[in-house]
Amino acid sequence: MVELKTDTSIDAMYAAGQVVGQALTAVRKTADVGVSLLELDEVAREVLRGAGATSPFLGYRPSFAPTPFPAAICASVNDAIVHGIPTGYRLRDGDLVSIDCGAELSGWAGDSAISFTVGRPRPADVRLIETAERALAAGIEAAVVGNRIGDIAHAIGTVCRGAGYGIPDGFGGHGIGRKMHEDPGVPNEGRPGRGLPLRHGLVLAIEPMLIASGKDGYHAAPDGWTLRTNDGSRAAHVEHTVAVTEAGPRVLTARDAPLTTTSRSPARRRWRVPTGAYCAPAAPVAAVRARCARPLARSHLRRFLHTCARQIVDRSASFRQACADRRQASDICLFRSSYFHALSCHTPGPPQLAGCCARSPPGDWDHTAVRRSHEEGIRSTDARPARYVPQGDGAPSALRQRPADLQQELTGDGTDPTS
């Protein structure tokens, strides 16, 4: 039976998925030459314990398995495709490792997998992993309302076969929710337009598995769990838990912490200033820096800065100053502040809210006036605090030409306190 999840349930699954993402990130950071697979399993268990989650892998026993699974992760190395049991094997230079991990939190499950190399990578392994990730991205892109399961399978298979890789028959993705494995199955190869229609609330674990030689043959190892390629060629396995929504596919196990997705519009990512911490995340800073190097993207940069500024205004109880500037430059400043850091970027065109800074206890602000003036591209003098001081000679001329009495009020002696 196929179960469609509510938006509230999808949000709960997102929480479980983030625990999975944290566990995989921790495992990836720990993996190195000389580290054993059992040590990687312990790292994942520690993350799950810290989050108050449990492992759906531990003790799991499907019909084909001779014994319950004994670990919290599947660790498959080199010719192992999936379901590898962590052992005392220590990673060697050039190993290709696939880690599959799951988590159960508040009654909901998340499932994800990554592949990576340890030490000096082989070019062939890099291409294999990159193709697996492209296949996963293609499958996620096809997971939209109105498509069918066959469209996801066809998208994955087209990428894999087009690159000359094999696909193990009989193993693929699956539905997920209260249990780790639910209906429907999601094959990694199929015909478009066939299979179950995709509807809002359907949650799937999409997981391409690729064999480097281009052959599809595999066999079960003596432990009854690990699947290995018949010809000894290497394999890669990647996976994400994805919710099908009216707004587009929502990846519930995404490992991009600085980016968050709103429940109203899961397909549209928004930058957020963390509640209670007025620190500009590193990812937005890098994004602005990259966009400043592309003149054609300035319209997108302005919208991006508008979003950042509105978040700061809405979330902070106070901030020291904001200045509008017509100068064109490509530099980005992180202003020193005991209260928060904010982005500053000078762009051509209408005055933009460029940044904020606190060098002394902040004054009171009319947040509504600041936000309104920012959106209209006009600096409202009503929103200016008593100790407002423009930054540098590049400040707008209207702000540089201050009356003498205001100059005296600002600093007491007419000097710039920031110099």
pLDDT of residue 381: 39
Whole-angstrom distance, CA of residue 15 vs CA of residue 20: 9
pLDDT of residue 75: 98
**Neighbour tally for 1: CB within 10 Å:** 6
Per-residue pLDDT of the chain (419 residues; tens, 9 = 90+): 899 999 999 999 999 999 999 999 999 999 999 999 999 999 999 999 999 999 999 999 998 899 999 999 999 999 999 999 999 999 999 999 999 999 999 999 999 999 999 999 999 999 999 999 999 999 999 999 999 999 999 999 999 999 999 999 999 999 999 999 999 999 999 999 999 999 999 999 999 999 999 999 999 999 999 999 999 999 999 999 999 999 999 999 998 543 222 333 333 333 333 333 323 333 344 443 444 444 434 445 555 555 555 554 444 433 334 333 333 333 333 333 333 333 333 333 333 333 333 333 344 434 444 444 444 443 433 444 444 344 444 444 444 444 454 444 444 444 444 44
Domain boundaries, the chain: 7-261, 282-411
The arrangement of strands across the sheet holding 227-229 comes to: 80-82, 227-229, 218-220
pLDDT of residue 287: 44
pLDDT of residue 306: 54
Tokens standing for 210? 């690729």
Q: What are phi and psi of 385, to 5 degrees?
A: -75, 170
Whole-angstrom distance, CA of residue 344 vs CA of residue 57: 47
CATH code: domain 7-261 is 3.90.230.10
Q: What is the dihedral of CA 231, 233, 234, 237, to 10 degrees?
A: -50
pTM: 0.63
The residues facing 23 across adjacent strands are: none
**Neighbour tally for 157: CB within 10 Å:** 22
pLDDT of residue 261: 29
Whole-angstrom distance, CA of residue 302 vs CA of residue 353: 9
